[in-house]
Structure 1
Amino acid sequence: MEIELWLIVVLTCVAVFTGFLDAVAGGGGLVMMPALLFAGLPPSLALGTNKIQSLAGTTMALRNFARAGLVDWRKEKWLVLIVFVGAGVGSLMIQLISARILELMVPLLLTGVALYVIFSPRMDDTKRHELLSRKGYAPVATAIGFYDGFFGPGTGSFFAATFVGLRGEGLTRATGHAKLLNVATNVASVLIFALGGKIVWLLGLAMAVGSMTGSWIGSRFAVRHGAKLIRPLLVTISLLLTAKLLYNWFVPS
């Protein structure tokens, strides 16, 4: 698929913004996915291309969390493998769905994730009671991994929320582990989408640079000041773009 240069520049700038969002408040895919669809990419290409920039931004964030000593690589290695497989299966399945169904499914999924962002409880660094062991958490991680391969936006928030609520971790460490698992799911998705020819590489790599830049800036931004402003902005932009996509589906031009 041919992408005009000006559109690559615009979407790269959007990737800077979404990389910043992901690092500070999470949910950057809620803006990037509608933006890619709004730019005219078919849903399958939008999903695949989005994974490139998502992988780049998440990797940058993981690097920062790991350097701060907030990632336990050894203890979480089996969860990494599990979510990798789950994401691979999800990425395979989404490519079997017809484009017309995806054009309706994607906006509906975006709306659902946006509602989750609105109503999700606030979390902090308080250590909580562990409800599930690492083995008990594996099915939850697999389901989230599958979701990330199948669709994606909000995955980091789902991982972090379940690490806090089910594993009893404080938010900062939970976010570090969420980045670790999210990198694994993104690697699996990129491989499957690439094999299926569902990635616009020039656009994806340009957006990857933008996403890494935004993530680098966002990881140094004061979360307690930024998230308070970004959360409502994120949801508003996402719902407006999603409403436009739904309108286009029901009232085609």
Structure 2
Amino acid sequence: MIDFVLLGAAAFLAGLVDAVVGGGGLIQLPALFSAFPREIPATLLGTNKLASVFGTTAAALNYAKRVKVHWSTVAPAAGAAFALSFAGAYTVSKVSADFVRVLLPIVLFAVAVYTFRKKDLGSVHAPVHSGMAEKYFAVGIGGAIGFYDGFFGPGTGSFLIFLFVRFFGFDFLSASAAAKVVNVACNVAALMWFGYSGMLLVQLGLLMALCQIAGSLVGTRLALKHGTGFVRKLFLVVVSVLILKTGYDAFTKGSISL
């Protein structure tokens, strides 16, 4: 019983953090692995996706009510992410992800340094692409992140926010809203894969989904209330924690996909 209470609390906090800047897997997956140390890892990853897809969808809907979602960019990115996440999931069954595990903390460190040094990055919403160029960039970025999410996964939401800010000129709040839509596409594709493979604890996943939804609603309200400056600061905090976690995983080889 205590394990379920702790998992519910972890899912709530994961939903809150994920709704603002991504990285909720930092909280939820370790809790699952701690509560079920003998369970097949893929089953816990599938259960995590089941809970996450509800929380991320709730966050996306909540953002859409208050923040303009730029569908000309988001829709092609989400479509490409959905398709390529299947390819990533298939590839990881054939190829080791160890090289990504080692590279990830380095890439995250570069993202953190760039964001910290560019004080005005994401402070205003000033889209830099339009027409077909916008769609090509969106498909390329959505596809790349979708493949990464299916292949490995940690920090997907944070990467999406950074890319929407850096390459599309979104402010952090608009980028967070856009990232949720693309993340839903990734999660749905992964969930279909795990469901087809029978790697789900359905009842537990649905229980955690309720807690994720509650956390995501709190998280989106905090983001909308405090604005893009709050999102930027929390983004840097979460990316810093991701650097430490993925760096530790890279050199101990005891990692799990977040």
- So what's the TM-score if we normalise by structure 2? 0.76
Q: 1:244 to 1:187 in 2, by over 3 A?
A: closer
SS at match of 1:197: coil
User: Who is 1:60 aligned against?
Assistant: 58
Q: Alpha carbon RMSD of aligned pairs, Å? A: 3.4
User: Who is 1:34 aligned against?
Assistant: 30
Q: 1:120 to 1:44 in 2, by over 3 A?
A: farther
Deviations 1:205-252 (A, max 9, x none): 1211111111111111135457646854774488469848965849xx
> In the TM superposition, what is the alpha-carbon distance from 1:111 to its structure 2 partner?
4.8
User: Who is 2:186 aligned against?
Assistant: 185
Identical aligned residues as a percent: 33
**Match status 1:88 vs 2:63:** no
Deviations 1:126-146 (A, max 9, x none): 415339522133122101011
Deviations 1:121-164 (A, max 9, x none): 15322415339522133122101011112232321222222222
Partners of 2:108 and 2:33 in 1: how far apart?
A: 17
Partners of 2:180 and 2:107 in 1: how far apart?
A: 18
Does structure 2 retain, via aligned residues, the 8 Å contact 1:90–1:149?
yes
Q: In structure 1, give the amino acid aligned to 2:4.
A: I
SS at match of 1:127: coil
Does structure 1 retain, via aligned residues, the 8 Å contact 2:72–2:135?
no
Q: In structure 2, give the amino acid aligned to 1:214.
A: G
Match of 1:13 among 9, 29, 33: 9
Match of 1:44 among 12, 31, 42: 42
User: Who is 1:164 aligned against?
Assistant: 165
Partners of 1:46 and 1:113 in 2: how far apart?
A: 26
User: Who is 2:142 aligned against?
Assistant: 141
> In the TM superposition, what is the alpha-carbon distance from 1:189 to its structure 2 partner?
0.7
**What are the ranges of 5 or more consecutive residues in structure 1 without an aligned counterpart?**
none
Does structure 2 retain, via aligned residues, the 8 Å contact 1:54–1:208?
yes
SS at match of 1:177: helix
Does structure 2 retain, via aligned residues, the 8 Å contact 1:124–1:171?
yes
User: Who is 1:153 aligned against?
Assistant: 154
Question: Which deviates the most, 187-196 or 81-90?
Answer: 81-90
Deviations 1:76-133 (A, max 9, x none): 4333222111112222333456xxx77x789758756764674451532241533952
Partners of 1:189 and 1:73 in 2: how far apart?
A: 22
Q: 1:155 to 1:248 in 2, by over 3 A?
A: closer
- So what's the TM-score if we normalise by structure 1? 0.78
Question: Which deviates the most, 136-145 or 218-227?
Answer: 218-227
The structure in which a higher percent of residues are helix is 2
Q: 1:196 to 1:112 in 2, by over 3 A?
A: farther
Deviations 1:158-209 (A, max 9, x none): 2222222212233322222211111111111101111112222222112111
Partners of 1:166 and 1:225 in 2: how far apart?
A: 21
Q: 1:10 to 1:189 in 2, by over 3 A?
A: same
Partners of 1:13 and 1:162 in 2: how far apart?
A: 30
